[in-house]
Amino acid sequence: MDTKPSGARPARRSPRLPNSNSNAQGRSEELKEAKRKGKMDRSKGEDELVAQLKHLEVSRSLASGTGLVHSEEFTRHNCLWDPSHPECPDRVTAIMEELERRDLRPRCLAVEPREATEQELLLVHKKDYVDLMRKTQTMSEKELQTLSENYDSVYIHPDSFRVASLAVGSLLELVDKVMTSELRNGFSVSRPPGHHAQFDQANGYSLFNNVAIATRYAQRQHRVKRVLVVDWDVHHGQGIQYAFEEDPSVLYFSVHRYEKAGFWPHLQDSDSPVAGSGAGLGYTINLPWNKTGMTDADYITAFQHLLLPVAYQFQPQLVLVAAGFDGVRGDPKGEMEATPQCFSVLTRMLMGLAEGRVLLALEGGYNLRSTAEGAAACVSSLLGDPCPPLSSSSPSLSALTSISETISVHYPYWSRLQVLEGGPLADDVVIRHKANEEQVGETNPSPLGVMTTGLAYDERMMEHLNLWDSHHPEQPSGIF
């Protein structure tokens, strides 16, 4: 950009000061004092701004590289009494093989995993629960099975405590490295999953809540003020929701199969009206899918019209993704139709936030091929590769209904959603849908399928002009 003035620069005139009466000296001193004071007041804010800008310029410009955490240890956790359990060691092996096959693994920086400390586990979990999990290391298979049956959809192996601690610690290592700008972003290929684990209980294949602990850790260790947690696993991550439902420093967004509570975990808490409580009201965003077969267009539309407007208003300093791939086509649990490439695009959409500090942690995904391809697609995006093209289709009416309902709930809390009033997401879409229920996958064009570009303009922008240089290149007329 050419920043040279387009014409001769007039001499800058100083304010005229009286100099011929008896009070002149005194007024001059007062003026000097006022100027000095003003400068001091201003300099405080300026110093903060300059420090922030330096931080931005120096730290983030140096941040490069995608961290990848994995260890053979993650294959040690398995179900002793059900060898065909879907949450199996092959899940992480398949991902690592796919990364190798696509030459993505050598392009990532290997990050050494570590076990989380007790203090770190206690950031989210109750001490009694952590102590109990530690004791499982010396339990017999029978005792482990009996204990597991106390929880919903959980198995515990004698190595589970150590492996689950390693899964937490792996993500904490990535948090350290992106927050100190040693890395730009990262992916933790770990298991067991974590997003269902709660304060005092294991749940849904999850023992410790990896993402929730990493969120608290980032806040405590790196003074991160706002964390966005995106949960695209096909199951609702109620464990993460419960950890932060009263906390406005954590924005939790979950898109999940729901079917009016007909799908596991069968909770009313997973529905769109549940939006957090107390100071955290508006900071829990649930987008429940009430049908299976959701496509790329449904997921992309949800991000474009719901998540991203809110996320850009929230301005997170770190983005953590509970990255399950059971929403990918072919998964026996999710029964969705999103392609692996869709998750590449979703990752890319998040990379514009938090100066690119985006960390993905593996959650579910029970079709080995779909999971491996989904994870590899995300790593490819994290590395900066161009996103693959998606097949063109329109979002389904069922998806639009869900998105509209969630927007209606969050409309009062987020001004960025209010601009949608009268737009394509207005009530008529929902009313028409209710009157004429149609199948997911129908191809009626919807206004939401159209990509639009927003234009921001306000006449007040004309009021910013250079008073002493009428030829300054940054002219008010430039916005026309």
Among the residue ranges 21-29, 125-133, 322-330, 426-434, the one whose residues contact Zn ion (CB under 5 A): 322-330
* Interaction residues for Zn ion, span 352-371 (CB under 5 A): 364
374 belongs to the binding site for Zn ion (CB under 5 A): no
Q: 465, 469, 400, 461: which is closest to 436 by C-alpha?
A: 400
Q: How far is the CB of 418 from Zn ion (least distance, A)?
A: 32
Residue of closest CB approach to Zn ion: 364
Q: From the candidates 196, 235, 256, 305, which is the catalytic residue? A: 196
Beta bridge partners of 227: 250, 318
Range in contact with Zn ion (rule: CB under 5 A) among 92-100, 227-235, 260-268, 458-466: 227-235
Contact assessment for residue 215 and residue 186, using Cβ atoms and an 8 Å cutoff: no
| Selected range binding Zn ion among 80-88, 98-106, 230-238, 466-474, rule: CB under 5 A | 230-238
For the bound state, the minimum distance from the C-beta of residue 420 to Zn ion, rounded and expressed in Å, comes to 29
Judged by CB under 5 A, the residue of 115, 120, 231, 233 near Zn ion is: 233
Please identify, using beta-carbon distances, which residue of 282 and 324 lies nearer to Zn ion.
324
Here's the x/- map for Zn ion, 435-464, by CB under 5 A: it reads as: ------------------------------
Interface with Zn ion by CB under 5 A: which range of 99-107, 245-253, 326-334, 452-460?
326-334
By beta-carbon proximity to Zn ion, the closer residue of 104 and 372 is 372
> Cα(423)–Cα(156) distance, rounded to whole angstroms?
50
Specify whether 196 is catalytic. yes
Of 265, 309, 324, 340, which lies in the binding site for Zn ion, with binding defined by CB under 5 A?
324
From its phi and psi, is residue 190 left (phi > 0), alpha (psi between -120 and 50) or beta? beta
> Least distance (Å) from Zn ion to the CB of residue 327?
8
Within 200-326, strands assigned E span 227-231, 250-257, 284-289, 318-323
Q: From CA 171, how far away is CA 188, in angstroms rounded?
A: 6
472: CB partners within 8 A, 6+ apart = 5, 465, 466
Which residues are bridge partners to 212 per DSSP?
A: none
| DSSP string for 167-227 | HHHHHHHHHHHHHTTS-SEEEE---S--TT-BTTB-BTTBSS-HHHHHHHHHHHHH----E
What residue type is 428 in one-letter code?
A: D
Give least dist CB 204 to Zn ion, A.
Answer: 7
Residue 234 vs 311, nearer CB to Zn ion: 234
Shortest CB 136 distance to Zn ion, Å: 23
Could you tell me the sign of the dihedral formed by the alpha carbons of 275, 280, 283, 286, in that order? negative
> Should residue 237 be labelled a site residue for Zn ion when binding is judged by CB under 5 A?
no
Residue at token pair 């026996």: 332
Number of other residues whose CB lies within 10 A of the CB of residue 390: 17
Nearer to Zn ion, 324 or 374 (CB): 324
- 194 Cα distance to chain centroid: 16
Least separation in angstroms between residue 373's CB and Zn ion is 16
Stretch that binds Zn ion, among 61-69, 316-324, 352-360, 396-404 (CB under 5 A): 316-324
Closest by CA to 434, choosing from 400, 387, 410, is 400
# binding residues, Zn ion (CB under 5 A): 5
Q: Is 288 in the site for Zn ion (CB under 5 A)?
A: no
Nearer to Zn ion, 77 or 235 (CB): 235
Minimum separation from the CB atom of position 361 to Zn ion (A): 13
CB-wise, 254 or 396, nearer to Zn ion? 254
Query: Which C-beta is closer to Zn ion: that of 288 or that of 364?
Result: 364
d(C-alpha 100, C-alpha 209), whole Å: 28
- List, in sequence order, every beta strand (DSSP E) within 27-154: 66-69, 109-111
| Residue from 115, 120, 245, 326 binding Zn ion (CB under 5 A) | 326
| Residue 239 in contact with Zn ion, rule: CB under 5 A | no
> Which stretch in 68-76, 225-233, 285-293, 306-314 sits in contact with Zn ion by CB under 5 A?
225-233
Q: Does 235 bind Zn ion (CB under 5 A)?
A: yes
Closest to 70 measured CA to CA, from 204, 206, 163, 183: 163
CA dist., res. 351 & res. 87, Å (int) = 29
H/E stretch holding 296: helix 296-302
CB of 5 to Zn ion, least distance (A): 60
Give the span between the Cα atoms of 47 and 51, in whole angstroms: 6
Min. distance of Cβ 233 from Zn ion in angstroms?
4
Which range touches Zn ion (CB under 5 A), out of 233-241, 308-316, 336-344, 396-404?
233-241
105 vs 257, which CB is nearer to Zn ion? 257
Alpha carbon dihedral 194, 295, 454, 433, in 10-degree steps, equals -110
- Residues 6 or more apart whose CB falls under 8 angstroms from that of 418 comprise 411
Nearer to Zn ion, 231 or 355 (CB): 231
Positions marked catalytic: 196
Residues that bind Zn ion (CB under 5 A): 233, 235, 324, 326, 364
